[in-house]
Amino acid sequence: MMQTYDVHTLPSNDNVNAYAFSIELAGRWFVSKGAMIAYYGNVNFDGVAAWASRDGFIASRFSSPIYIQDWVVAEGQGKVIVADRGFDVQSFDLEAGNLTLRANNLLGFETGLELKQSIVPGFVTLIGTGKFLASSNGPVIFVEPPFRADPEALLGWADCPSPSHHYDAQWMSASLGAMLQGMFGRESGEERQFDFTGEGTILMQSSETLREDPALMRLIESQTSLLSTQQAGILGQRLVARAQQQ
Amino acid sequence: MAFEEVNSKVVRAHVSPATPVLARRGAMLGYDGQVTFRPVAGQGGGVGGFVGAALSGESNPMMATEGTGSVLYGFRGLHVTVVQLDGSGSLTCEADRLLAHDANLQTGVEFIGQGGIRAAVRGAMTGQGLFTTKVSGAGAVALLSHGGTYAIPVDGGGVAVDPQAYVGHVGNIQVDLSAKVGWRDAVGRGSGEAFQLKMSGQGTVYIQASEQKF
């Protein structure tokens, strides 16, 4: 028997099923562009960029210029259903805490939370108290440090220090040797891990394939301002060469 | 040693010096303990095995996981099913469905072209070619599928399987292509259901709940 929902029976601030979440909107939420699949009520969706120019509160909450184009402010009264590619959607409550999450997997958060850009590329940090929604391929797996994670399968981490890179020495020498013999490519996925130590929780998902992150380009572009004009020219030539190879 | 199912898409393996694991390269999601990953050539069996696998197109980039610790494996968000082999029968499947298996299991490439033109057509339809991977011994195998794997017992004759949904089989099973092949299907204008794999014998056939290939 298929469950049918109407205005009154639709869950409020709860999952509709494993893959969709119904936000009870009374005020404002930040919602990732493209995550909204349906809504009812009197709701306006406006780009964060447009909001930030007229509301200082929003600008202070949403503190990440490279992601600003990918987010909207949902304002009004009603219910907003969000989903992401059939991935599992989960809500989490943060209480005076901080949590770092892969930017692509963050679907929405209450304006009580503050969004900052993590020092780890592709990740954002939420600070404060409030609810947020995250998507993951398969249910989230919680792990405690010490733990080493495939960077792509990593969903995020809470309350523990930012990870460091770990390169497997044996793997490095094996693949270097193999490269000399021309037998293996460099693409293994396992030579580099994120190494977590200390107290906290690591969130993992069941896949190491990612959705394209449009903000990554903007991030790299902004960081190449560290290069000198000459270095930037060399980088440009290398990128052109790489693009022509494919 | 067995794989512990964390969720429908992830398994955890407890690795020790006595129980290394062979896994698809890139399938490691995370680990704790002292664990190292070493690339291995093809389907094992040394140089000969590698050459054979390379020739057949059944070479799957694999790595050995060694040391002491627990490792999470998953691949592209595909569903994972653990098949326990007791040593009496071997598992036949496509190489790219192997996520991980106990390193003490033997893998080999099997030529399935003996059946003449029918087997050849079957191979072409399943994307397997004329070769398939055979896993034998006692131990656990983690298989990948799209949409989840379902086990169907084969007892005597008559289980028909969509070639795209076929994952693998265990036991003494003969596989044949059902013969509703006309020129219409050959040029790709049929219903898409004209090709079926006919399984007969004794054993278990594994199918996935999707026709999507990966």
pLDDT of residue B39 exceeding 90, the answer is no
Give me the long-range contacts of B46-51 (CB less than 8 A, separation at least 24): B49/B108, B49/B109
Closest in A138, A150, A208 to B8, CB measured: A138
Beta strands in chain A (DSSP E): 14-17, 20-32, 36-47, 62-63, 71-83, 88-102, 106-110, 113-117, 123-136, 141-143, 147-149, 154-158, 164-167, 192-196, 201-204
- Distance, in Å, from the CA atom of B38 to the CA atom of A139, rounded to the nearest integer, reads 29
A193 vs B44: which has the higher pLDDT: A193
Q: Average per-residue pLDDT in chain A?
A: 87
State the count of interchain CB pairs (< 8 A) between A and B. 91
Tell me the three state secondary structure of residue A36.
strand
Please judge whether A188 and B28 are an interchain contact, meaning their C-beta atoms are less than 8 angstroms apart.
no
Answer whether A29's CB lies under 8 Å from A46's CB.
Answer: no
- Domain B3-208 adopts which CATH fold? Double-stranded beta-helix (3.60.160)
Please judge whether B28 and A190 are an interchain contact, meaning their C-beta atoms are less than 8 angstroms apart.
yes
How far, CA to CA in Å, does A216 sit from each of A78, B42, B152, B194? 33, 35, 45, 46
pLDDT at B53: 44
Q: Residue A189: its chain B contacts at CB < 8 A?
A: 25-28
pLDDT at A219: 83
Give the residue extent of every domain in chain B. 3-208
pLDDT of residue A230 exceeding 80, the answer is yes
Q: What is the DSSP letter of A174?
A: H
Tens digits of residue pLDDT in A58-91 = 888 898 888 888 999 999 999 999 999 889 999 9
pLDDT at A180: 58
What's the ipTM?
Answer: 0.75
Tell me the nearest-neighbour CA distance from A204 into chain B, angstroms: 8
Chain A interface residues (partner B, CB cutoff 8 A):
137-139, 141, 143, 146-150, 153-154, 168, 170-171, 174-175, 178, 183-184, 187-190, 193, 202, 204, 206-209
pLDDT at B122: 52
Tens digits of residue pLDDT in B135-157 = 889 999 999 999 899 999 998 87
Please judge whether A204 and B63 are an interchain contact, meaning their C-beta atoms are less than 8 angstroms apart.
no
Please judge whether B30 and A147 are an interchain contact, meaning their C-beta atoms are less than 8 angstroms apart.
yes
Least trusted range by pLDDT, from A7-11, A112-116, B68-72: A7-11
Q: What is the DSSP letter of A162?
A: P
pLDDT of residue A37 exceeding 50, the answer is yes
Tens digits of residue pLDDT in B41-92 = 644 444 334 444 444 444 567 888 889 999 999 998 899 999 999 988 889 8
Closest CA to B94 of B209, B207, B10, B201: B207
Tell me the nearest-neighbour CA distance from B77 into chain A, angstroms: 4
Beta strands in chain B (DSSP E): 3-7, 10-15, 21-24, 28-40, 62-73, 79-86, 91-93, 98-102, 106-111, 131-136, 138-145, 149-161, 166-177, 197-208
Tens digits of residue pLDDT in B156-166 = 877 888 878 88
Q: Which residues contact A6 (CB under 8 A, 6 or more apart)?
A: none
Tokens, residue A187: 């693409």
Q: Average per-residue pLDDT in chain B?
A: 77
pLDDT at B45: 44
A182 vs B21: which has the higher pLDDT: B21
Q: Which residue of B has its CA nearest to A208?
A: B76
- Distance, in Å, from the CA atom of B67 to the CA atom of B16, rounded to the nearest integer, reads 5
Work out the percent of chain A whose per-residue pLDDT is above 90: 53
Average pLDDT over residues A190-203: 88
Tell me the nearest-neighbour CA distance from B165 into chain A, angstroms: 21
What is A14-158's CATH number, 1.20.1290.10, 3.40.640.10, 2.40.50.140, 3.60.160.10?
3.60.160.10
pLDDT at B195: 65
Give the residue extent of every domain in chain A. 14-158, 217-245
List, in sequence order, every residue forming a beta bridge with B135; answer none if it has no partner.
B91, B107
pLDDT of residue B193 exceeding 50, the answer is yes
Average pLDDT over residues A197-225: 83
pLDDT at B28: 92
